[in-house]
Amino acid sequence: MKYILALDQGTTSTRAIVFNRSGRIVAQAQQEFRQIYPQPGWVEHSPQDIMASVMSVIAEVLVRADASARDIAALGITNQRETTIVWDKSTGEPIYNAIVWQCRRTADYCDSIPQETRDLIYSKTGLILDAYFSATKIKWILDNVQGARERAERGELLFGTVDTYILWQLTKGRSYATDYTNASRTMLFNIHTLKWDEDLLRLFSIPKSMLPAVRPSGYMFGKITGGALAGVPVCSIAGDQQAALFGQLCLEPGDVKNTYGTGCFLLMNTGDKAVRSQNGLVTTLGAGLTDHPCYVLEGSVFAGGAAVQWLRDGLKVISHAAESEAIAISVKNNGGVYVVPAFTGLGAPYWDAHARGTITGLTRGSTSGHIVRATLEAIAYQVSDLVRAMERDSGMHISRLAVDGGASANNFLMQFQSDILNCEAVRPCVFETTALGVAYLAGLYCKYWGGVDELKENSSDCRVYIPCMSEAERTQLLAGWQDAVRRARR
């Protein structure tokens, strides 16, 4: 068998990527699909659209790689996390659209839950009660789709995150399962006992019969029935951020990666220790091949690359995201200007929903170049705040940051990140670390690769950024940032 195929079902597009034994991309195909906004703050996807995009990118990537099912050793699935689908067990028909992780429809319900219950949820799931996670979305479907609750109680309905739905469809209902990483984002899974939690199921009135089996991320999930991939085994499933952590080979406690996309996602492997955060980070499960998944500390920045989009579409001071790099280095320094891109509030470690975007330090000499530079620097400051919070929570020192995602292409941003953190930032050659992560998991499971050492030999760093800023300058810049954050807060 020549290849491993990874399917990356994301929030706005679905991708299929064929990897060879060196972990390099042989071919890829991508398709965007419809976003449905039924009301302000609500976001849905059509599960049928998702499946159509899955089938289409698989067909296309096989043509591009000049490959057939016979060449594919295994399929790995990675997915947008938390997004919720409920379907009829006998027909496979979804009873409602997929409710996407971004959807805020259950925010008021979440607000009504008392602190004592929130503490219970955190102690069992490692999550901060929020509309983001699947539990309240499932409850909403059962409460609002006519007859759904009765059907669920009769055992006629199934719930799945997107991975589970795709697996069920590809195996024509024979395999009904998810993995630890996806289960840990539902807010129904106890990350300490590694079981669906009876108390939480009762709290959200969700029958246990509608929950999938939970497996390690690398596992024999079943064989594809029919179609272009008939007979190919599905050997891995993992949520996108945990897949990226695995793809970056952050396999030891203390290993950290940050993905610079629209938002930023910082994940740290904390080994067999579930760290309780004092700084509003969440604790979740990592991807692996055994029944003992590692624990992961996770934090996110709301406006990462989105701040660069704002420079382009809001301020119109750049015409392409990549242009920001040349403009940032065209000025000597930030000229005392700080941008706090708190467009939708500030997340960890501040958790201030009422904070708003702010520019400080403007003088008569300030130029658009300073604002562009300060915006890129702000992405790095926000990540730095998360890194420091993670260090405080875990008691581990971070000396190397693995980076990926669209904005990690920006050399100014990566150098500044390394300078501000005073640690190395390492960018791999294969940017598609999410897909690579599930390819690795599937390939290790089916013995396409002999072991992690082989993967380490194959992986190569595209670029390593070494800190070269004086302590005095770092201290001064961080003080300026902290001052700007204070002004941005309510």
Instruction: Kindly list the residues in this chain that would bind ligand ADP in the complex (CB under 6 A).
Output: 261-262, 305-306, 308-309, 321-322, 324-325, 405-407, 409-410
Closest of 193, 144, 166 to residue 85, by C-alpha = 166
Find the residue with minimal CB distance to ligand ADP: 406
Do 269 and 398 touch, CB atoms closer than 8 A?
Answer: no
- Smallest gap from Cβ 44 to ligand ADP, in A, equals 18
Find the shortest distance in angstroms from Cβ 324 to ligand ADP.
5
Residue 300 CB, nearest approach to ligand ADP (Å): 11
Q: Give whichever of 268 and 308 is closer to ligand ADP, judged by the CB atom.
A: 308
What is the C-alpha separation between 482 and 378, in angstroms, rounded?
Answer: 11
Residue from 404, 408, 400 nearest 466 by CA: 400
Name the residue nearer to ligand ADP (CB basis): 8 or 197: 8
Q: Residue 342 is encoded by which pair of tokens?
A: 């708190």
Contact by Cβ (8 Å): 248, 257:
yes
Q: In what order do the strands lie in the sheet with 98-99?
A: 44-45, 98-99, 84-88, 157-161
Q: How far is the CB of 306 from ligand ADP (least distance, A)?
A: 5
Residue with smaller CB distance to ligand ADP, 220 or 329: 329
Contacts of residue 406, defined as CB under 8 A and 6 or more positions apart, other chains included, come to 260, 261, 305, 321
In the complex, least distance from residue 107 CB atom to ligand ADP, rounded to whole angstroms: 22
Least CB distance to ligand ADP at residue 308 (A): 4
Residues near 419 by beta carbon (within 8 Å), at least 6 away in sequence: 467, 468, 469, 474
**Residue closer to ligand ADP (CB basis): 130 or 325:** 325
Those residues with Cβ within 8 angstroms of residue 453's Cβ, 6 or more apart along the chain or in another chain: none
User: Min. distance of Cβ 312 from ligand ADP in angstroms?
Assistant: 7
Using DSSP, state whether 89 is helix, strand or coil. coil
Closest distance to ligand ADP from the beta carbon of 368 (Å)? 16
Which C-beta is closer to ligand ADP: that of 164 or that of 433?
Answer: 433
| Cα separation, 31 vs 26, whole angstroms | 18
- Closer residue to ligand ADP in complex, CB, 149/373: 373
Which of residues 288 and 305 has its CB atom nearest to ligand ADP in the complex? 305
Q: How far is the CB of 266 from ligand ADP (least distance, A)?
A: 14
DSSP state of 70: G
Comparison of 170 and 414: residue with beta carbon closer to ligand ADP = 414
CA-based radius of gyration for the chain:
22
Closest to ligand ADP by CB, 306 or 359? 306
CA separation for the pair 361, 196 (Å, rounded): 51
Residue type for 81, please? R
User: Rounded to whole angstroms, how far apart are CA atoms 406 and 138?
Assistant: 32
Q: Which is nearer to ligand ADP, 1 or 322 (CB)?
A: 322
The β-bridge relationship of strands 213-215 and 295-301 is unpaired
In angstroms, the first-to-last Cα distance of the chain is 58
Smallest separation, CB 70 to ligand ADP (Å): 32
Does the N-terminal peptide bond of residue 349 adopt cis geometry, omega within 30 degrees of 0? yes
